[in-house]
């Protein structure tokens, strides 16, 4: 589960610029995948061999607090045994593990 203050804005701008430069007919697929705000979460899951659903959420007022609250609720409701709650930006990421100790 993750959040980002910018979503995929930079990637969307890069993809759109490529699309315009190609005559507004085609944008490169290798740029398109990054227009999804969940892409960094998916790449991390692949790299670390994690399994399970990926969820991108966003709250403008207190993004990190909201992310952790939602992760805790999902673990308490037994929707997941554990969740990596990640807040990421262009040059950084903060990842916290939320799990039930019982």
Give the pLDDT score at 69. Answer: 95
pTM metric for this prediction? 0.76
Q: How many angstroms separate the CA atoms of 96 and 59, rounded?
A: 17
Instruction: Report yes or no: 64 and 94 within 8 Å, Cβ to Cβ.
Output: yes
Give the pLDDT score at 56. Answer: 94
Give the residue from 77, 10, 98, 86 showing the smallest Cα distance to 42.
86
- Break the chain into its structural domains and give their ranges: 2-6+36-99
pLDDT 10s digits, 28-80: 877 888 888 998 889 889 998 988 899 999 988 888 899 999 999 999 999 98
> Which are the contacts of 53, defined by CB distance < 8 A and separation ≥ 6?
none
Give the pLDDT score at 34. Answer: 84
Q: How confident is the model at residue 22 (pLDDT cuts 50, 70, 90)?
A: confident
For the cut 90, the answer to whether the pLDDT of residue 90 exceeds it is no
Q: How far is it between the farthest Cα atoms of the chain?
A: 58
Q: How many CA atoms lie within 13 A of 100 on its CB side?
A: 10
Give the pLDDT score at 66. Answer: 94
In the predicted model, what is the mean pLDDT of residues 87-91? Answer: 84
């Amino acid at each position: 589960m993750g959040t980002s203050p910018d979503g995929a804005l930079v990637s969307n701008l890069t993809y759109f610029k490529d699309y315009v430069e190609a005559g507004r007919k085609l944008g490169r697929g290798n740029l398109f995948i990054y227009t999804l705000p969940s892409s960094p979460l998916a790449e991390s899951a692949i790299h670390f061999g994690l399994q399970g659903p990926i969820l991108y959420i966003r709250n403008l007022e207190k993004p990190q607090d909201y992310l952790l609250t939602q992760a805790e609720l999902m673990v308490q409701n037994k929707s997941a045994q554990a969740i990596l709650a990640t807040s990421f930006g262009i040059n950084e990421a903060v990842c916290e593990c939320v799990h039930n100790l019982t």
